[in-house]
Copies of this chain bind each other. A is one copy, B any other.
């Protein structure tokens, strides 16, 4: 832990502003949080929702070794693991917090001396172009990353604009300075993931090309344009998997100073001579469309070589976004947690179009985004819960653009489906449900629909959920549940479909589409079909209508669930808690049941199969590191035990979010874990997105001022709040006490003041 402390001293000691007074919220963001163990965040540079997320990769692991899944791969979902001692290089695309992965495109690495075109051994970095590094020399800020590459004593700095990565390397004096450009590198780089790569050296400082992969995204191409601040003296490449057929290209020596490179697995290099402390800068633009698009993005966004200017512009963008909530808190750590969480919620979805509005669609054609910004990276199974509801309040315009991006996806989908988990003009089908409909319903019900064709969106939702070949839907529509003998994770699917169906009903109600409302209100009760009142849990059911014989409510694998066991998943009826509680024996029994969940001991054998989380990611049997239980602590509100919601929420906030690299108990999941933190810290949570209600918890700040896009301001005050004073005595809206466990969306966006009077005793 010694090293850690040093890092934080480095990072924060420059600031002499007090936490309470400053509105320079960037200082509280620590992008290293979550980079150790299972957080799967990355520490590199990006602007809010940036297309380029430029970050060091500390290792690259093949997805398969001898045809078998390599468990090490999983640690590198975001490319960087805090415990590693070497950096392979800096690549331009990263997911934040995912539990499966892709990307890591276009690795850049500066080196000196003899050319090495292999990354080398992580335990002996001198064997390749990778380099030792230490956290002592790291600086990590929003839109700025700096590290000393120790092998060759090169200082690496990076910053970005939305579509352009800006590298700055300070070299020692050398006749043999190189910049390696690795197109083989990637995250989750299983065999043959690279389908094709293509590079053109346009002149002595400009390179363009693309990388096409078959990975989590099956048919994905990313185009680039790269400019060096100084002409290279020589360049070349190596083809690590030459085609059997060379054709008439044999007439050239393509390996050196030959301006066209192509192949499946190639790495290039560019040579320079450097004076002492000479900076070589690299601007690296991405495009979803073409190299022309990438070049235009480069020229439009960063037409200069002023690294500091770009850094500053990006940090100003962060200041603006983070400033949308001005928080005061007792301890600096609280601010670090809050603004780092806010930072993480603003990393994705990512912008996915050129500056001219062109983007590649799901149909692989080029489309033009009319009147919206096109986004990608939709980890919807995670993010429908809290991230999109959070954006619906704090980033309503962007949330609408995201919905329009999802609608464009629908228009381009040959399945006529809204996205499930989509990135880079691809549906990757990850996880379950059809939670696009929740995101859309949440916006429609809350009236955040300017520029969205809400009726068309409802039609798209209805069409989506009728895709018979999708994940057991044929049976779900026929039987009212997904039968376990026909489709795995059948209970999870049934429960989530039922909630999503309720979302469709809510949207239909808002739009006065009665038939749809009726149909989907009926479907929304399907969760009952997998509830076995004899055991008090949901459990898998066969297509013959009988529940499975074997059943273990603690077990996940092979039990009809995914990322959660029956103990956790059986509580997944966010849209109808009252009915669920009634079915489970009434409020009192239910509160006791929740208590048991939070206090039980989950034996190691069960924990081992709980994906994605550390041992710290669970509390009793409650698994916060995975998403299905994210609403559970709030369910006490329906069981006449709001004080328990308040206790549990504060316990989770304290245990699961710490301002350290290992501070996240599970994958941040594209901001969902962070969005939970933000809501809960502010004192309320959207248990059922698609409802206009937020369930009240226990605010963990002193004050928070929300600057809303409608020009209004909402102030949240938590009077007398402290680590001990977690209980809410009274809630006043604009000075008037309310006598309910929820607030409405209107009460938030109309602005004003919500006052929580806190105490160390429950208000029973």
List chain A positions with a Cβ less than 8 A from chain B. Answer: 63-64, 67, 190-193, 195-196, 198, 200-202, 208, 210, 212, 214-216, 218-219, 243-245, 247-249, 251-253, 257-260, 262, 290-292, 363-366, 414-415, 421, 428-431, 469-471
Contact = CB atoms under 8 A, between A and B. Distances in A.
A295 to B, nearest CB: 9
B290 A365 contact: yes
Given A195-B196, A414-B201, A364 B243 contact: no
Given A64-B245, A216-B247, A414-B202, A257 B469 contact: yes
5 pairs of A and B residues whose beta carbons are closest in the complex: A248-B429, A200-B414, A292-B365, A259-B414, A190-B245
A244 B64 contact: yes
Given A195-B196, A291-B365, 17 more contacts: A64-B245, A191-B244, A196-B196, A198-B219, A201-B414, A210-B364, A214-B262, A215-B245, A215-B247, A216-B247, A218-B262, A219-B262, A248-B421, A248-B430, A249-B429, A251-B471, A252-B469
A546 B30 CA distance: 72
A196 B426 CA distance: 15
A511 B126 CA distance: 60
A99 to B, nearest CB: 12
B192 A243 contact: yes
A247 B245 CA distance: 30
Nearest to A188: B245
A290 B195 contact: no
- Give how many copies assemble into the complex: 2
A68 B347 CA distance: 51
In this complex, the member of A190, A193, A243, A430 whose beta carbon has the largest number of chain B beta carbons within 10 angstroms is: A243
B244 A192 contact: yes
Given A190-B245, A215-B245, A291-B363, A414 B260 contact: yes
Nearest to A471: B251
Given A214-B243, A366-B290, A415-B260, A248 B198 contact: no
A214 B214 CA distance: 16
Nearest to A102: B247
Nearest to A218: B262
B364 A245 contact: no
A411 to B, nearest CB: 12
A307 to B, nearest CB: 28
Given A290-B365, A291-B364, A366-B366, A249 B414 contact: no
Nearest to A207: B414
25 contacts: A63-B245, A64-B244, A64-B245, A191-B244, A191-B245, A195-B196, A196-B196, A196-B212, A196-B219, A198-B364, A208-B363, A214-B243, A215-B245, A215-B247, A216-B247, A218-B249, A247-B428, A248-B421, A248-B429, A251-B429, A252-B469, A260-B414, A291-B363, A291-B365, A292-B363
A291 B414 CA distance: 13
Contacts of A244: 64, 67, 190-192
A248 B429 CA distance: 5
Given A262-B218, A469-B258, A200 B363 contact: yes
Contacts of A251: 429, 471
A290 B218 CA distance: 18
A214 B196 contact: yes
A502 to B, nearest CB: 23
Contacts of A469: 252-253, 257-258
A26 B75 CA distance: 69
